[in-house]
Amino acid sequence: MPPVNSSTPDFDRLLDETFGIFDSVLDDQTPDLTPVEVGKITSVSRGVAQVAGLPNVQSEELLRFPGNVLGMAFNLDPESIGVVLLDESDRLSAGEEARRTCRVLDVPVGEELLGRIIDPVGRPRDHQGPVPATLRRPCERPAPAIMDRDPVQVPLQTGLKVVDALVPVGRGQRELILGDRQTGKTAIALDTIINQHDTGVICIYCAIAQRTSAVAGVIAGLKERNALDRCVVVVAEGNSPPGLQYIAPYAATTIGEYFMEQGRDVLVIYDDLTAHARAYRELSLLLRRPPGREAFPGDIFYVHSRLLERATHLREQAGGGSLTALPIAETEAQNVSAYIPTNLISITDGQIYLSPDLFQKGQLPAVDVGRSVSRVGGKAQLPAYRAVAGDLRLSYSQFEELEAFSRFGSRLDEETRQTLERGRRVREVFKQSQGEPLPVAEQIAVLVAVTRGVFDQIPVEEIARASEAVRSAMTSRAAELCEEIVAGRKLTQEQIGTIEQLARESVAEFVKDEAATSR
């Protein structure tokens, strides 16, 4: 288009058309004055701030400070507002403005989060750009109603023999993982995530006040086993503000609830809620809330109960999805009766207790069968486990007591010696390397072998190799039986006998070696 000379009639015509368009647009616009409440920071300390003004602010409303620093209204006092900061407090000073956002604290949800690492507010931590999710939901949401829930009946396989056989976990259950520090609590949770590779379960790992190196190790382990693509990692490290640590598990649960409401199964791991309780205690003391037992505020039980009650199995009419919670709690000097552990034990549907004594002896995973329990029990267990390991828990506990008693006497009858030898082999079978969860059929084959006495004539140090031979034989020579076990069909005595015979044939070489050694 040739340039238009400003002295020509065409220029005047274009100018009139342009101003006509502007006039028509402005005629449709009605000026509207929007009031904005602005408060003023009166004091700032680590993790919290006091704000004057904002008379209409709501509880848990998101506030914005200069430099795009976020905070959450926590204490609504007549003279001031106690704000929990979600960013570093050293970026603020007294006298600066605080503005309402008129929305409660929320987090992005959706399929776009799979494979991403975010903080509890939804900001990316994996250097892969902004999270493209367009849907956001509040971090604090009410738990599903009682009439919208179904019983927990579908198993969630962890891939660990000692857990799946003796302390089963179901989809929609809340099972606490409990133990002293450095006893393998996170390892059990990660093995459970890895074992969901072909089950369609969405996994969410929530790190609360963990060391940055520890979180990096967890993420590296998930990447190494190609498990990160179906996971969402919510991170609030130990050097994060206590406000971020406090809201982290609620944000992770909201992300999981989105998938649950789509009819999918979700696993959420809170690592760990003891650190979460400490973060909440720190915030409460800074905001001068009255302390209670061990300086924790009086509502610490409610803080965790309203979180864990959101884990459930929905009815088909409500979507049919499930959210399984595996909270982790740390004990000190094996004190299970401490304040936070007892609170969590009373809220959850059972606990997996990890013993430091077993850990030091090399019994990994260090699950103390006698102090671990699943209140859902066999209802969330495949029928094959009930047929094979129905009385294994009782017999194993009896073996542990008998072994402790036998140290005080040298004369043991033949039946007692056989019980001890069988128990030692069961204990050896329960040992499992980290990051190597086993399929259901392979677990059943090994359990049949040890409970039917196939391993009785094999030296204890050869049990690991014998178990591997049994697992290999099961998958290669009994593929149809493996499919029936996974499908949830009951094992007949004939099928159990077939597995036993298969196991005896596969370990024959180990028995011969032992006989030659005895000669």
* Residues marked as catalytic: 375
Please name the amino acid found at residue 483.
E
On the 0-12 / 13-18 / 19+ scale of CB atoms within 10 A, 411 is exposed
In sequence order, the β-bridge partners of residue 99 are: 38, 64
> Edge-to-edge strands of the sheet including 117-118?
117-118, 231-236, 202-208, 265-271, 322-331, 176-180, 350-354, 373-374
SS3 content of the chain, % helix, strand, coil (to 5): 45, 20, 35
Q: Indicate the DSSP class of residue 289.
A: P
**Which residue in this structure is represented by tokens 């610490």?**
300
Distance CA 509, CA 60 (A): 67
N-to-C CA span, the chain: 105
Q: Give, as one character, the DSSP assignment of residue 432.
A: -
CA distances from 22 to 13, 28, 30, 430, 461 (A): 14, 10, 14, 78, 88
- Which two tokens mark 394? 């009782």
Strands 48-52, 81-85: pairing is antiparallel
Q: Cβ distance 37 to 54 under 8 Å? A: yes
Q: Which amino acid is residue 190, in one-letter code?
A: L
CB 118 within 8 A of CB 124: yes
